[in-house]
Amino acid sequence: MIEKYKDKDWLHTQWYIEKKPKIAIADLCGCHRQTIQKWIEKFRFGDRGDVRYKDKEWLTLQYVDRNISAYKIAEQCKADRETVGKFIKKYNIKRVECLYMDKELFKRKYTDENMPTKDLCELLGCRMTTLHRWREIHGIPLRPHIGRGFYRHGGYKFIYVPPCDRVKKSKVYQQEHRMVMEEHIGRRLRDDEIVHHINAVRDDNRVENLTIVTRTNHIGEVDCPYCGRIFCVK
Protein backbone atom coordinates (compact mmCIF):
# COMPACT_ATOMS: atom_id res chain seq x y z
CA MET A 1 0.00 0.00 0.00
CA ILE A 2 1.41 3.40 -1.00
CA GLU A 3 1.95 5.90 1.80
CA LYS A 4 -0.41 8.88 1.61
CA TYR A 5 2.36 11.46 1.68
CA LYS A 6 3.79 9.99 -1.56
CA ASP A 7 0.55 10.91 -3.35
CA LYS A 8 1.28 14.37 -4.77
CA ASP A 9 -2.38 15.38 -5.12
CA TRP A 10 -3.25 14.24 -1.62
CA LEU A 11 -0.26 16.01 -0.08
CA HIS A 12 -1.03 19.13 -2.14
CA THR A 13 -4.58 19.18 -0.71
CA GLN A 14 -3.38 18.79 2.87
CA TRP A 15 -0.60 21.37 2.54
CA TYR A 16 -2.13 24.04 0.31
CA ILE A 17 -5.92 23.66 0.43
CA GLU A 18 -6.52 22.61 4.05
CA LYS A 19 -3.35 24.40 5.24
CA LYS A 20 -2.49 21.76 7.82
CA PRO A 21 0.84 21.98 9.63
CA LYS A 22 3.43 19.31 8.87
CA ILE A 23 3.04 17.67 12.25
CA ALA A 24 -0.71 17.22 11.67
CA ILE A 25 -0.09 15.65 8.24
CA ALA A 26 2.56 13.40 9.78
CA ASP A 27 0.02 12.22 12.38
CA LEU A 28 -2.42 11.31 9.62
CA CYS A 29 0.24 9.27 7.85
CA GLY A 30 1.80 7.77 10.96
CA CYS A 31 5.25 9.08 10.11
CA HIS A 32 7.74 11.69 11.29
CA ARG A 33 7.36 15.40 10.53
CA GLN A 34 10.71 15.43 8.72
CA THR A 35 9.37 12.80 6.30
CA ILE A 36 6.56 15.16 5.32
CA GLN A 37 9.08 17.99 4.98
CA LYS A 38 11.19 15.87 2.64
CA TRP A 39 8.25 15.04 0.34
CA ILE A 40 7.03 18.65 0.31
CA GLU A 41 10.49 19.63 -0.92
CA LYS A 42 10.57 16.72 -3.37
CA PHE A 43 7.28 17.82 -4.97
CA ARG A 44 8.63 21.41 -4.94
CA PHE A 45 5.71 22.79 -3.00
CA GLY A 46 6.48 26.40 -2.21
CA ASP A 47 5.57 28.40 0.87
CA ARG A 48 1.92 28.86 1.69
CA GLY A 49 0.27 32.27 1.82
CA ASP A 50 0.98 33.39 5.40
CA VAL A 51 4.72 33.36 6.03
CA ARG A 52 4.88 36.44 8.24
CA TYR A 53 7.05 34.55 10.71
CA LYS A 54 9.93 34.99 8.21
CA ASP A 55 9.76 38.75 8.74
CA LYS A 56 12.14 39.50 11.62
CA GLU A 57 10.46 42.78 12.56
CA TRP A 58 6.97 41.26 12.60
CA LEU A 59 8.14 38.20 14.53
CA THR A 60 9.91 40.38 17.10
CA LEU A 61 6.75 42.46 17.56
CA GLN A 62 4.63 39.35 18.22
CA TYR A 63 7.09 37.39 20.35
CA VAL A 64 8.70 40.16 22.41
CA ASP A 65 6.47 43.25 22.44
CA ARG A 66 3.10 41.45 22.50
CA ASN A 67 4.44 38.47 24.49
CA ILE A 68 2.70 35.94 22.19
CA SER A 69 4.02 32.39 22.42
CA ALA A 70 5.63 30.60 19.45
CA TYR A 71 2.71 28.16 19.51
CA LYS A 72 0.14 30.97 19.14
CA ILE A 73 2.17 32.62 16.36
CA ALA A 74 2.28 29.27 14.55
CA GLU A 75 -1.51 29.01 14.89
CA GLN A 76 -1.94 32.49 13.37
CA CYS A 77 0.21 31.58 10.38
CA LYS A 78 -1.06 27.97 10.15
CA ALA A 79 2.51 26.77 10.48
CA ASP A 80 4.41 24.39 12.74
CA ARG A 81 5.61 25.60 16.12
CA GLU A 82 9.02 24.12 15.31
CA THR A 83 9.20 26.27 12.15
CA VAL A 84 8.39 29.45 14.08
CA GLY A 85 10.86 28.44 16.77
CA LYS A 86 13.53 27.94 14.12
CA PHE A 87 13.12 31.52 12.90
CA ILE A 88 13.07 32.88 16.46
CA LYS A 89 16.41 31.15 17.03
CA LYS A 90 17.73 32.18 13.60
CA TYR A 91 17.04 35.87 14.26
CA ASN A 92 18.29 35.51 17.87
CA ILE A 93 15.07 37.03 19.21
CA LYS A 94 15.00 37.02 23.00
CA ARG A 95 12.43 38.26 25.47
CA VAL A 96 13.29 40.59 28.31
CA GLU A 97 13.01 38.61 31.54
CA CYS A 98 9.67 39.25 33.20
CA LEU A 99 9.47 40.09 36.89
CA TYR A 100 7.52 36.91 37.72
CA MET A 101 10.52 34.88 36.46
CA ASP A 102 12.62 36.23 39.35
CA LYS A 103 12.25 33.50 41.98
CA GLU A 104 13.69 35.54 44.86
CA LEU A 105 11.36 38.49 44.21
CA PHE A 106 8.39 36.17 43.74
CA LYS A 107 9.06 34.29 46.98
CA ARG A 108 9.68 37.47 48.99
CA LYS A 109 6.41 39.10 47.90
CA TYR A 110 4.26 35.95 47.86
CA THR A 111 5.50 34.07 50.92
CA ASP A 112 7.47 36.44 53.19
CA GLU A 113 5.43 39.64 52.75
CA ASN A 114 2.15 37.79 52.08
CA MET A 115 1.11 40.29 49.41
CA PRO A 116 -2.52 39.78 48.22
CA THR A 117 -2.69 37.91 44.92
CA LYS A 118 -4.42 40.75 43.10
CA ASP A 119 -1.75 43.27 44.16
CA LEU A 120 1.02 40.81 43.28
CA CYS A 121 -0.38 40.38 39.76
CA GLU A 122 -0.31 44.15 39.29
CA LEU A 123 3.26 44.38 40.62
CA LEU A 124 4.59 41.55 38.43
CA GLY A 125 2.52 42.57 35.40
CA CYS A 126 0.82 39.24 34.77
CA ARG A 127 -2.51 37.46 35.00
CA MET A 128 -3.62 35.18 37.84
CA THR A 129 -3.08 32.02 35.76
CA THR A 130 0.46 33.12 34.86
CA LEU A 131 1.17 33.90 38.51
CA HIS A 132 0.19 30.44 39.73
CA ARG A 133 1.96 28.71 36.82
CA TRP A 134 5.23 30.41 37.75
CA ARG A 135 4.63 29.72 41.44
CA GLU A 136 4.62 26.03 40.54
CA ILE A 137 7.69 26.44 38.28
CA HIS A 138 9.58 28.11 41.16
CA GLY A 139 8.49 25.31 43.52
CA ILE A 140 6.84 27.75 45.95
CA PRO A 141 4.04 26.10 47.98
CA LEU A 142 0.52 27.52 47.93
CA ARG A 143 -0.16 29.75 50.91
CA PRO A 144 -2.56 28.56 53.63
CA HIS A 145 -6.00 30.05 53.05
CA ILE A 146 -6.57 31.31 56.60
CA GLY A 147 -5.65 34.98 56.57
CA ARG A 148 -4.10 34.78 53.10
CA GLY A 149 -5.12 35.06 49.49
CA PHE A 150 -7.94 37.50 50.21
CA TYR A 151 -9.75 40.48 48.81
CA ARG A 152 -12.23 42.97 50.26
CA HIS A 153 -15.73 43.81 49.10
CA GLY A 154 -18.22 46.06 50.84
CA GLY A 155 -15.89 46.24 53.83
CA TYR A 156 -15.94 42.46 54.34
CA LYS A 157 -12.92 40.23 54.00
CA PHE A 158 -13.18 37.24 51.65
CA ILE A 159 -10.73 34.33 51.92
CA TYR A 160 -9.63 31.96 49.17
CA VAL A 161 -10.51 28.35 50.01
CA PRO A 162 -8.58 25.58 48.20
CA PRO A 163 -10.63 22.82 46.53
CA CYS A 164 -9.49 20.28 49.14
CA ASP A 165 -11.08 22.38 51.94
CA ARG A 166 -14.13 23.52 50.02
CA VAL A 167 -17.59 22.18 50.85
CA LYS A 168 -19.60 20.95 47.86
CA LYS A 169 -21.20 23.80 45.87
CA SER A 170 -19.51 26.43 48.07
CA LYS A 171 -17.76 29.45 46.56
CA VAL A 172 -14.05 29.79 45.90
CA TYR A 173 -13.85 32.92 48.08
CA GLN A 174 -15.83 32.89 51.33
CA GLN A 175 -16.52 35.49 54.02
CA GLU A 176 -13.87 35.25 56.70
CA HIS A 177 -16.17 36.14 59.59
CA ARG A 178 -18.44 33.19 58.76
CA MET A 179 -15.45 30.86 58.49
CA VAL A 180 -14.13 32.05 61.88
CA MET A 181 -17.51 31.51 63.52
CA GLU A 182 -17.98 28.05 62.00
CA GLU A 183 -14.55 27.03 63.28
CA HIS A 184 -15.43 28.43 66.73
CA ILE A 185 -18.75 26.60 67.07
CA GLY A 186 -17.53 23.46 65.28
CA ARG A 187 -20.30 23.25 62.68
CA ARG A 188 -21.62 24.84 59.51
CA LEU A 189 -23.90 27.86 59.91
CA ARG A 190 -27.54 27.40 58.98
CA ASP A 191 -29.15 29.49 56.26
CA ASP A 192 -31.09 31.51 58.84
CA GLU A 193 -27.97 32.35 60.88
CA ILE A 194 -26.00 35.52 60.23
CA VAL A 195 -22.70 36.51 61.81
CA HIS A 196 -22.84 40.05 63.19
CA HIS A 197 -19.86 42.31 64.02
CA ILE A 198 -20.43 43.73 67.50
CA ASN A 199 -18.32 46.86 66.98
CA ALA A 200 -19.72 47.36 63.45
CA VAL A 201 -16.23 47.07 61.92
CA ARG A 202 -16.79 44.65 59.07
CA ASP A 203 -13.22 43.39 58.77
CA ASP A 204 -12.62 42.96 62.51
CA ASN A 205 -13.07 39.20 62.50
CA ARG A 206 -11.81 38.37 65.99
CA VAL A 207 -14.06 35.69 67.43
CA GLU A 208 -14.82 37.90 70.49
CA ASN A 209 -16.19 40.54 68.11
CA LEU A 210 -18.57 38.13 66.38
CA THR A 211 -21.96 36.80 67.35
CA ILE A 212 -24.69 34.80 65.64
CA VAL A 213 -28.05 36.46 65.02
CA THR A 214 -31.08 34.93 63.33
CA ARG A 215 -33.47 36.23 60.73
CA THR A 216 -36.80 37.52 62.07
CA ASN A 217 -40.18 36.67 60.62
CA HIS A 218 -39.89 39.86 58.61
CA ILE A 219 -37.97 38.77 55.51
CA GLY A 220 -34.78 40.71 54.97
CA GLU A 221 -34.30 41.93 58.57
CA VAL A 222 -32.02 40.85 61.42
CA ASP A 223 -32.42 41.56 65.15
CA CYS A 224 -29.14 42.31 66.95
CA PRO A 225 -29.34 41.05 70.57
CA TYR A 226 -26.57 43.48 71.62
CA CYS A 227 -27.58 46.87 70.27
CA GLY A 228 -31.29 46.09 69.80
CA ARG A 229 -31.29 47.52 66.29
CA ILE A 230 -32.91 45.87 63.27
CA PHE A 231 -30.65 45.47 60.27
CA CYS A 232 -31.80 45.04 56.69
CA VAL A 233 -30.34 42.08 54.86
CA LYS A 234 -29.77 42.39 51.14
**How large is the average pLDDT for residues 10-24?**
82
pLDDT for 121-162, tens place per residue?
Answer: 878 777 777 787 788 888 888 765 444 456 567 778 887 776
CB under 8 Å, gap of 24 or more: what pairs does 149-154 form? 149/116, 149/117, 150/116, 150/176, 151/116, 151/117, 151/118, 152/203, 154/202
- What is residue 96's predicted lDDT score, i.e. its pLDDT? 61
**pTM of the predicted model as reported, rounded to 2 decimal places:** 0.34
- Of residues 223 and 186, more confidence is placed in 186
Which among 1-10, 37-46, 143-152 has the top mean pLDDT? 37-46
If pLDDT is split at 50, 70 and 90, which confidence band does 233 have? low
Q: Alpha carbon of 116 to those of 105, 123, 148, 163, 173: distances in Å? A: 15, 11, 7, 19, 13
- What is residue 146's predicted lDDT score, i.e. its pLDDT? 44
- What is residue 147's predicted lDDT score, i.e. its pLDDT? 44
- What is residue 221's predicted lDDT score, i.e. its pLDDT? 58
